[in-house]
Chain A
């Protein structure tokens, strides 16, 4: 085990060129597998928030309804920003496997920038809602809305900070099995957040405009 460990560390060339760099140590494979288990549990967490929201959607207690509250332009821009950020994040992994550190870091920076665009519009929406009295404590609908969308926004905020820290490590240490594993894990986290957002714009925003 320790021999294999040092052999991988000391050798800058791939042991087996068919295996991507982020899988070059057994511990990396285990960490990636473990992160998929976390994504499974996060998916279940979001499903509970979605279930609460669906039940609470009509409980407006005389306050604003989803049809009055949701701004089509805002959530359309948020959706486009996050869809494109998922694409650029995928290209970062693609360049990582080709060994192009600079191209990879560029795509990751673009991903973070698009994430910040998303967050800017979401924060603006929340501030606007609160300014017209649509606060979290106004109704069951708004409690469920802010909890679900806010939890996703919190994930995206953490994701941008996490991705920035991985970018700093990539600039300092280059693409090694360790930095590659960290970049791969943050990238599947980012794609997962885009998938969750797809269900938020479907179940919350579009459905909220239909009924």
Chain B
């Protein structure tokens, strides 16, 4: 019988992973707030950067807090979530693209 691979984070000692996750999310949030509210860069530049920072925050949640890669067999949630993100990107990105085309035409 094949042995299953176990990939679990052992919870020993101080919860460094969680503290680092919190600090990362606070720093990314602070940068986004500062860029949007305290600087006067072109809106397109600010929005692009803060959306990228948002994806960084999503990765922090997934990998530092949500035990994303853990499983007692195979981590099926990883392809599931990335597929859902692909659909989300298609829906949102596609909508922005289509509507920007409409504003060019009109």
A residues adjacent to B (C-beta < 8 A): 16, 18-20, 23, 29, 33, 36-37, 39-41, 43-44, 46-48, 50-52, 54-55, 72, 76, 79-80, 83-84, 86-87, 89-91, 93-94, 97-98, 184, 188, 191-192, 194-195, 198-199, 201-203, 206-207, 209-211
Contact = CB atoms under 8 A, between A and B. Distances in A.
Contact of B84 (A40, A84, A90, A210): A40
Contacts of A202: 32, 50-51, 53-54
B91 A198 contact: no
Given A19-B8, A207-B50, A29 B83 contact: no
Given A43-B85, A195-B58, A207 B76 contact: no
Contacts of A91: 15, 18
Contact of A18 (B6, B64, B77): B6
Contact of A47 (B33, B65, B92): B92
A37 B18 CA distance: 24
Given A39-B81, A51-B92, A192-B66, A90 B21 contact: yes
Interface string B46-78: 110011011001100110111100011100110
A202 to B, nearest CB: 4
Contacts of A188: 66-67
Given A18-B10, A86-B25, A50 B92 contact: yes
Nearest to B28: A198
19 contacts: A40-B81, A43-B88, A47-B92, A50-B91, A50-B92, A51-B92, A51-B94, A51-B96, A76-B33, A86-B25, A89-B65, A91-B18, A184-B67, A191-B65, A192-B66, A195-B61, A201-B32, A206-B32, A207-B47
Given A94-B11, A206-B50, 11 more contacts: A20-B8, A48-B91, A52-B95, A54-B92, A86-B22, A86-B25, A86-B65, A97-B11, A198-B29, A198-B61, A202-B51
